[in-house]
Structure 1
Amino acid sequence: MAVERELLIDILRDTQPKSMVYMNSTVGNENPEGTRENRRKRVREGLTHAGAPLSDVETIIAEMSQVTGVADPSARFVVARNGRLLYHSVMGGPMTSKECIHHGPVVDVTPLLMQVPDDDCFLVVRVSRGGGDISVVVEGDREPMFSRRIEGDTSDINKVSVGRMSEAGHQRHVEEVWKHNQDEIAGHITELIASHHPRVIFLSGDVRAVQLLTEQLSDQARHLLHVIPGEGNAEGASEEGIRHAIDIHLDAARRRTNKEILDRSAASSGQEQARGIGAVVHALAQGQAEVVLIDPTVLLEHDLLALDAEPWVATAPEDKLDANVLEDIVATAAIVRAAVLTNARVRFVDPDEIGVGVGVVAALRWPVGPPTP
């Protein structure tokens, strides 16, 4: 699933008190209804304690009573105001941050953006000699947004005996059938590249089918291709094995992208980079931040002021300009909110990527000025 950015901006601009819940929605096989009921009870108690109106409580609990439609594990993010549902999303994968139940003017969308890292999608292709399956998956989600099964010609393949397979003529004919099947799949991949712009294509399946499909792909598709080795390259490989290989590749790609952003922004004597909470808050206030890289473990130890208008965030009351303070909130939530409202991209990083203890780094749209003499 993709994050609905424009809807998030509307919610973050809204200064009226709102109720939000970020919670595990995995049910498991043991007493699923009991698990759901315990969560509903926890939400009711948490929102009531936070001062949420009964209408918000009932709206969110009613939404939580609906079947998720997403395979375990999963997490749910819900926002309501005055009994009206503003945002609801069920996201595949284990929870990436702590449970959050809150009522107030500022919605912390950090859990949502951590659960769905960005809107990039990828293709997962599994092939056999008789056809294949193609899925379009948004990064951060375990369930495909779109799947297609391609049934190729298997009549001649299925009729072949071991003895006949030794006949060179028939072998060539069967090979042409296999090649035709993979050519059809390659055509579908070309269409999906044009419509969804995937960042990578993961390919697994029968060894010969993988080879034939690779030969049929366009140059653009081959540039995006990542063949899953080992177990993932065997027909009948487990879904978990393939998913594990994909997760490893995506995490490595994420770290490479983060390094490229950091290296590029640091190239001009560091003038296109802001490091640390104070410098990044200043850059956000100027609308100067293009990409904000956050180590949430550090920012959770600090608070910032969330404002009702530009500059959206401040470290102290004297920096708020003409805006009003909405809430004194955890720095992660305040910086993420200001980044979204100023159209900066947010990326979450491991501490070693930006420096242990730094907390946050921003790549800037234009360089900072020379130091004041």
Structure 2
Amino acid sequence: MKTLQTSIPPDVSELFELPVPILSVYLGGVPPTHEYSTADLHGAVLRAVAQGSPPKAVEALRKVIEEIPAGTEAKAVFIGADGSSRLFPIPGAPGEDRVIASAVPHLTPLLAWWQTHPAHVVAVVDRAGADITVFPAGDHSPTSTTVTGPDDEIVRTAPGGPAQPRYQRRAEDSWKHNAGHDVEAIAAALERSDARLLLVAGDIRTIQLLTDQLPAWIQNEVEVRMVSGGRSEDGSTDLRAQQVEAEMTEAAHRHGRRLLEEFADRSGQNGRSVEGVAATLRALARGQVRTLLVTDQAADGGVAWFGPAATDIGLHVTGLTRNGVEPERGPVTDVAVRAALLGGADVWVLDPRTPGAPYHGVGALCRFP
């Protein structure tokens, strides 16, 4: 089954250890001709103060915003009550600035951005070799390698006469051998990065020779898509980057649709999916959840209670206090995301307008009924 590599941002689990209340701050990109104004800073600080953030957290927020230079990409910042902070770049993320104080970090915008930037490999090929770039999830710190095929007789000569077919076959054999060499390097890059999205650029004949030699595991497990351009300086770099971005987004949409199809197929009394706040929290409390499905605006602002362990979660505080837990409370969606991540489950963020999204924007695929 073809499925995206859906890892979460590195160190995200550390956010649950920040002293509460935790400030979750989403700052949009700053154009090169603009800096955050005094009004922007004042408004963000006022929102933090109004939500009960302690002085050290407010001062840390002030410092973060004051230090944002012009031309900065969007970012997510999480600040603990003691002023300690964690920052995650999220270039190109949509949405307005947000400042939210709670006992649990507000992660859905960050996770939504990460799921549209899965680990992927871009291979730009020609008859002599390939340029292969590996992008880890989140697009951070890509690495590039150049592969040169073992055969250098790649040009069809045209001497005419009876020797012509022999020269042509020799050149085509060289193309095929070089494509096989490229395939080995691409397979190694996919395995090394755990990427399940391969984007290939080059001339049609070379791409055909390459895709014909892809091993069965790539054909079965990896989405292979075509993008524009070649290895020569043909002015296609910017267009290819735009197409790669679009392909990542579409791959995420396809993955989301597959999850919703599975969610619908498993519904029913004895199925392995649950939906709605109460049923989903019960599944999280039992450690049943394999993949949590949420929207960024789920549950109409309701709250839930949670304790230290992933399974310490419920709609009512009494169920936790009876077990000797000193619970905190936070927005339902954020509490559910915390429980899922701490319990080793995947989380997939859906657009609230997505057809087939779970009731109240919260649901789950379960490991067992």
**What TM-score do you get using the length of structure 1 for normalisation?**
0.76
- 1:255 is displaced (CA, Å) by 1.0
Q: Which residue of 2 aligns with 1:190?
A: 187
Q: Which residue of 2 aligns with 1:303?
A: 302
Point out the more displaced range, 315-324 or 144-153: 144-153
Q: Which residue of 2 aligns with 1:370?
A: none
Q: Which of residues 124, 130, 133 in structure 2 aligns to 1:132?
A: 130
- 1:48 is displaced (CA, Å) by 4.1
Cα pair 1:272 1:365 within 8 Å, conserved: yes
- 1:277 is displaced (CA, Å) by 0.9
SS in structure 2 of the partner of residue 274 of structure 1: strand
In the TM superposition, 1:100-139 aligns within 5 A as: 100-117=98-115, 121-138=119-136
Can you give the 5+ residue segments of structure 1 that lack an aligned partner in the other structure? 368-373
- 1:164 is displaced (CA, Å) by 6.0
Higher relative contact order (CA closer than 8 Å, sequence separation 6+): 2
Letter in 1 for 2:272: E
Letter in 1 for 2:24: M
CA-to-aligned-CA distance 1:168-202 (integer Å, 9 cap, x gap): 44434433443343233212112223322222322
Cα pair 1:126 1:133 within 8 Å, conserved: yes
SS in structure 1 of the partner of residue 260 of structure 2: helix
1:90 partnered with 2:89: yes
* Distance in 1 of aligned mates of 2:119 and 2:131: 16
Can you give the 5+ residue segments of structure 2 that lack an aligned partner in the other structure? 1-5
Cα pair 1:121 1:198 within 8 Å, conserved: yes
Q: Which residue of 1 aligns with 2:75?
A: 76
Cα pair 2:9 2:114 within 8 Å, conserved: no
Provide the identity percentage. 21
Cα pair 1:122 1:200 within 8 Å, conserved: yes
1:19 partnered with 2:23: yes
- 1:207 is displaced (CA, Å) by 0.7
- 1:345 is displaced (CA, Å) by 2.0
- 1:233 is displaced (CA, Å) by 5.1
Q: Which residue of 1 aligns with 2:3?
A: none
Task: Say what the alpha-carbon RMSD is for the aligned residues.
Answer: 3.7
Q: Which residue of 2 aligns with 1:347?
A: 348
CA separation of 1:93 and 1:168: change in aligned 2, threshold 3 A? farther
Letter in 1 for 2:80: R
Cα pair 1:125 1:133 within 8 Å, conserved: yes
Cα pair 1:285 1:313 within 8 Å, conserved: yes
Cα pair 2:196 2:223 within 8 Å, conserved: no
Q: Which of residues 162, 178, 181 in structure 2 aligns to 1:181?
A: 178
CA separation of 1:246 and 1:109: change in aligned 2, threshold 3 A? closer
- 1:143 is displaced (CA, Å) by 5.2
* Distance in 2 of aligned mates of 1:128 and 1:84: 52
SS in structure 1 of the partner of residue 171 of structure 2: helix
In the TM superposition, 1:205-224 aligns within 5 A as: 205-224=202-221
Letter in 2 for 1:294: V
Letter in 2 for 1:19: L
* Distance in 2 of aligned mates of 1:109 and 1:154: 50
- 1:323 is displaced (CA, Å) by 2.9
Cα pair 1:15 1:326 within 8 Å, conserved: no
* Distance in 1 of aligned mates of 2:136 and 2:276: 31
- 1:142 is displaced (CA, Å) by 4.8
- 1:89 is displaced (CA, Å) by 0.9
* Distance in 1 of aligned mates of 2:42 and 2:206: 52
Cα pair 1:108 1:337 within 8 Å, conserved: no
- 1:336 is displaced (CA, Å) by 1.5
Letter in 1 for 2:288: Q
